[in-house]
Amino acid sequence: MDSKGGVLMHRYELGKLLGHGNFAKVYRGRNLETGMSVAIKVIDKKKIMKVGMMNHIKREISVMRLIKHPNVVQLHEVMASKTKIYFVLEYVKGGELFDKVAKGKLKEEAVKKYFKQLISAISFCHSRGVYHRDLKPENLLLDDGGNLKVSDFGLSALAETKRQDGLLHTSCGTPAYVAPEVIDQQGYDGEKADIWSCGVVLFVLLAGFLPFHDSNLMEMYRKIGRAEFKFPKSFPTEAKSLVAKILDPNPITRISVASILKHSWFKTGLVSEPRKLEMETTATEQMVSSDFGNHFDLVESMQASSLNAFNIISMSRGLNLSGFFNDNNEDDNELRFMLKQPLTNIIIRLKELAKSMNLKLKITNGEMVKMESSVLAIDFEIFEIMPNVHLIEVKHLGGDRLEFREILNKSIKPALSDIEHMKSLRVATTS
């Protein structure tokens, strides 16, 4: 490993090996400055390049930087050397949910808690145009407080990867948890496929075994396609109704997340949803470039503690962050600006902008601004990179895309450009 004396890039102390796969090893680590425990995923660049998985890794980073939610494992930093890529992740020490269900079915009260947290996380992922595509108890971790954390976005997809028919076409996932339309290979809605997998997880937690199982894989697929399964006698009556609606083999009539939230079993004992976690993007997440080459090697030669996005952008006029996250930069459905202005100035300008366009304005925690009308919704997310330097992301959330692009070019760009001191960075849509 590219580390010296058990210390990675002068920033993290490496501990015991937690697990390993074909292309990566995961270690426990400790931030030397804060003492915080982390998990460090070490990926062999040569191996992934040999099998053509570089885009796979880039997509995983792109996905994880979009998802900041209390029930999703957080990506703190991405670093790299000439031979390795390092994911610095939230350390979740409670183990896999699978370990609990492997001992038998769980109590209904505990299942309800886990399922609500799972739906909260997946709903947030979908709102960001991210589909997990491999939801199963092995990918659901528990922290020391017993809270669920969705992990392993290695098979996830972004909305932008849909074809012209609006569907995903890559068959992936774990057979027993995969939706019938994914098996059919005719194209599928990533949101509906994730909901099916959530239903299988719910069944497993309450029953202690899989709804679809057979030693013959094709026979198991047949059962999945027809939704042939039986509830055990001990299965809660209200939960049966919900599972039946989720494990509907027809994705068109399958229950939606919005309807799951209204279901009587789900609502019973419902506690307030955890506050959406909009953590500041760390320096290294902000600076990742369009490849894992020279720019990453540059990062290793510097002190990570003093490195931030402002430094990286200032060092090179040619360093464009956008290419790393998307290969196609033709759509103007999201803009990213770096503004050398205090937050108060930015908020004032956004208020003026909303007023000029007759849009309703909603501000959350001073960092999330939404503008909306009956036909359009726009999101402005603000991150502080360093004192009086902010990153602002402008996204199309809903409504007519042509109208959004017109407003983007005629109103938003001019309004922000006259207060920006750095070049805006365009990236493709994630909506």
* Ordered mean pLDDT values, 10 residues apiece, the chain (431 residues): 65 87 84 93 87 77 81 89 90 89 92 96 88 88 93 61 49 78 83 94 95 90 94 95 96 95 85 40 35 36 32 35 37 67 83 86 72 80 72 78 79 72 36 34
134 has catalytic annotation: yes
Please give the tally of structural domains in the chain. 3
Q: What single string gives the DSSP state of each residue in 320-344? A: -SHHHH-S-----SEEEEEE-S-HH
Same domain, 248 and 112: yes
CATH of the domain at 163: 1.10.510.10
Please tell me the predicted confidence (pLDDT) of residue 188.
Answer: 81
Can you tell me which residue has the tokens 């969705």? 150
Residue 275 lies in a domain: no
Residue 27 lies in a domain: yes
Residue 343 lies in a domain: yes
Range of the domain at 402: 331-426
Same domain, 139 and 156: yes
Residue 118 lies in a domain: yes
Residue 66 lies in a domain: yes
Same domain, 82 and 162: no
Can you tell me which residue has the tokens 């769980």? 106
Please tell me the predicted confidence (pLDDT) of residue 366.
Answer: 53
Residue 177 lies in a domain: yes
Same domain, 103 and 246: yes
Please tell me the predicted confidence (pLDDT) of residue 334.
Answer: 67
Same domain, 148 and 47: no
> What is the Cα–Cα distance from 428 to 327, expressed in whole angstroms?
9
Same domain, 58 and 117: no
Same domain, 186 and 70: no
Same domain, 81 and 110: no
Sequence length of the chain is: 431
DSSP state of 362: E
Please tell me the predicted confidence (pLDDT) of residue 388.
Answer: 72
CATH of the domain at 371: 3.30.310.80
Same domain, 400 and 284: no
Q: Residues 395, 381: contact at Cβ < 8 Å?
A: yes
Same domain, 75 and 103: no
Is the pTM for the entire model greater than 0.75?
no
> What is the Cα–Cα distance from 150 to 191, expressed in whole angstroms?
15
Q: Residues 367, 281: contact at Cβ < 8 Å?
A: no
Q: Which of 134, 189, 248, 332 is catalytic?
A: 134
Residue 192 lies in a domain: yes
Same domain, 421 and 352: yes
> In terms of DSSP bridges, do strands 157-158 and 368-372 run parallel, antiparallel, or are they unpaired?
unpaired
Please tell me the predicted confidence (pLDDT) of residue 233.
Answer: 94
Please give the structure tokens belonging to residue 240. 């049966």
CATH of the domain at 13: 3.30.200.20
Same domain, 288 and 335: no
Known binding residue 41? Answer is yes
Q: What single string gives the DSSP state of each residue in 135-194? A: -SGGGEEE-TTS-EEE---TT-EEGGG--TTS-B----S-GGG--HHHHHTS-B-HHHHH
Can you tell me which residue has the tokens 């270690």? 27
Residue 41 lies in a domain: yes
Burial (CB count <10 Å: 0-12, 13-18, 19+), residue 410: exposed
